[in-house]
């Protein structure tokens, strides 16, 4: 065991304790899989990351991402939070225009957008779920057929069943049967649009309800940031009933929704409302360069997933 630099970061928020927490061990050298997994179980956070020297010479650093139940090939909030912690600890990227993170899914580009960092969403594979699976998941969520506008299996490393619901209000009112979702073995992400004129009202109302349930909580300034969509992520199969804010899910949802015309090429998603959080995820799809293969075939540009991070704990850990 040795003393290693450590940070706990809150991601997708500009104010501590309103986003999704992440434990970051800034020196994971010499730790085997068992030691990393044991520490991730001990932190009991949705994800814990370990920063390592890159194996690929084009990367600035390498990161391994663990949930309490296992290792992930890629995840969004650990990507932004680890990059934030690495830069804050003095990390210096090889290029001025972007940081390159290496993880199991490959190389992930991260860029600065003012006070936010944004990662380039990895390639997405998607397919239609079976009618049987969709019916089982809908029942576990308490949804009727008319509530579901579209559904896709989304795979960008993590696999999610994505459901587009008829409204943000429907998303906020869900009371899932987490035991049933765990039995089906699927992580489920739900999304619904806010009516533009009522989005701030719905967000404020839901936050008031969450505070009433959870006890006295300070009002988050993020309530003033109107969201276009409301998102919730249910991950009982990996031991997390509801994730506060999920970058990989929002990445895959954006790639799907924008490609199918369900969302504009730039929008803001709220997540964590029902948990008393106020996460904000900024999604942008850039147009393809003229003459590129993508521009002449699929017409799909690169999606960027952005958000702010704040450090809540600086210190060391003995591992």
**How high does pLDDT run on average in the chain?**
89
Could you give the CA distance from residue 190 to residue 28 in angstroms, rounded to a whole number? 34
**pLDDT recorded at residue 220:** 52
**pLDDT recorded at residue 239:** 80
pLDDT at 138 over 70: yes
Task: Kindly state the average pLDDT of the residues 159-187.
Answer: 96
How does pLDDT run across 235-271, given as a tens digit for each residue? 998 888 999 999 999 999 999 999 999 999 999 999 9
Query: How would you write the chain as a 3-class SS string?
Result: CCEEEEEEEEECCCCCCCCEEEEEECCCCCCCHHHHHHHHHHHCCCCEEEEECCCCCCCCEEEEEEECCEEECCCHHHHHHHHHHHHHCCCCCCCCCCEEEEECCEEEEEEEECCEEEEECCCCEEECCCHHHHHHHHHHHCCCHHHEEEEEEEECCCEEEEEEECCHHHHHHCCCCHHHHHHHCCEEEEEEECCCCCHHHHHHHHHHHHHHHHCCCCCCHHHHCCCCEEEEEEEHHHCEEEECCCHHHHHHHHHHHHHCCCCCCEEEEEECHHHCCCEEEEEEECCCCCCCHHHHCCCCCCEEEEECEEEEEEEEEEC
Q: Do 143 and 136 form a contact (C-beta atoms < 8 A)?
A: no
**pLDDT recorded at residue 69:** 85
User: Euclidean distance between the first and final Cα of the chain, in Å?
Assistant: 5
pLDDT at 71 over 50: yes
102 part of the active site: no
* Domain residue spans of the chain: 3-118+310-318, 125-301
Model confidence band, residue 177 (pLDDT cutoffs 50, 70, 90): very high
pLDDT at 212 over 50: no
CATH topology of domain 3-118+310-318: Diaminopimelate Epimerase; Chain A, domain 1 (3.10.310)
Nearest Cα neighbor of 28 from 74, 76, 61 is: 61
| Count of CB atoms situated within 10 Å of the CB of 185 | 10
Of the candidate CATH numbers 3.40.50.2030, 3.30.420.40, 3.40.190.10, 3.10.310.10, the domain formed by 125-301 belongs to 3.10.310.10
pLDDT at 55 over 70: yes
The dihedrals phi and psi of 239, each to the nearest 5 degrees, come to 90, 10
pLDDT at 292 over 70: no
Task: Kindly state the average pLDDT of the residues 51-65.
Answer: 97
Name the active-site residue from 34, 47, 230, 260: 47
**pLDDT recorded at residue 149:** 97
Task: Kindly state the average pLDDT of the residues 48-53.
Answer: 98
pLDDT at 200 over 60: no
**pLDDT recorded at residue 208:** 44
Model confidence band, residue 157 (pLDDT cutoffs 50, 70, 90): confident
Domains 3-118+310-318 and 125-301 fall in the same CATH topology: yes
Model confidence band, residue 287 (pLDDT cutoffs 50, 70, 90): confident
**Residue 92 vs residue 298, higher pLDDT:** 92
Q: Which segment, 65-69, 143-147, 237-241, is predicted with the most confidence on average?
A: 143-147
Model confidence band, residue 76 (pLDDT cutoffs 50, 70, 90): very high
Task: Kindly state the average pLDDT of the residues 168-181.
Answer: 97
**pLDDT recorded at residue 275:** 95
């Amino acid at each position: 065991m040795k003393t290693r630099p450590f940070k706990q970061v809150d991601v997708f928020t500009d104010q501590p304790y309103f986003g999704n927490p992440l434990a970051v061990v800034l020196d994971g050298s010499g730790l085997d899989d068992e030691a990393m997994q044991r520490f991730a179980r001990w932190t009991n956070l949705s994800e814990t990351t370990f920063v390592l020297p890159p194996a690929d010479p084009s990367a600035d650093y390498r990161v391994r991402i663990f949930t309490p139940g296992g290792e992930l090939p890629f995840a969004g909030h650990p990507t932004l939070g680890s990059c934030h912690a690495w830069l804050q600890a003095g990390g210096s990227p090889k290029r001025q225009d972007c940081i390159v993170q290496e993880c199991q899914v490959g190389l992930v580009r991260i860029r600065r957008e003012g006070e936010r960092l944004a990662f380039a969403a990895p390639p997405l594979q998607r397919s239609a779920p079976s009618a049987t699976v969709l019916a089982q998941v809908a029942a576990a969520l308490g949804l009727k057929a008319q509530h579901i506008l579209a559904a896709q299996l989304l795979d960008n490393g993590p696999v999610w069943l994505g459901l587009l619901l008829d409204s943000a209000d429907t998303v906020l009112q869900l009371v899932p049967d987490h035991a049933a979702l765990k039995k089906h073995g699927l992580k489920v992400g739900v999304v619904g649009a806010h009516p533009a004129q009522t989005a701030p009202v719905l967000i404020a109302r839901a936050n008031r309800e969450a505070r009433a349930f959870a006890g006295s909580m300070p009002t988050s300034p993020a309530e003033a940031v109107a969201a276009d969509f409301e998102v919730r992520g249910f991950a009982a199969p990996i031991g997390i009933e509801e994730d506060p804010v999920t970058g990989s899910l929002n990445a895959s949802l954006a790639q799907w929704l924008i490609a199918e015309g369900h969302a504009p090429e730039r929008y803001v998603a709220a997540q964590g409302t029902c948990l008393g959080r106020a996460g904000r995820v900024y999604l942008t799809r850039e147009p393809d360069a003229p003459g590129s293969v993508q521009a002449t075939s699929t017409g799909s540009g690169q999606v960027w997933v952005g958000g702010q991070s704040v450090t809540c704990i600086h210190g060391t850990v003995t591992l």
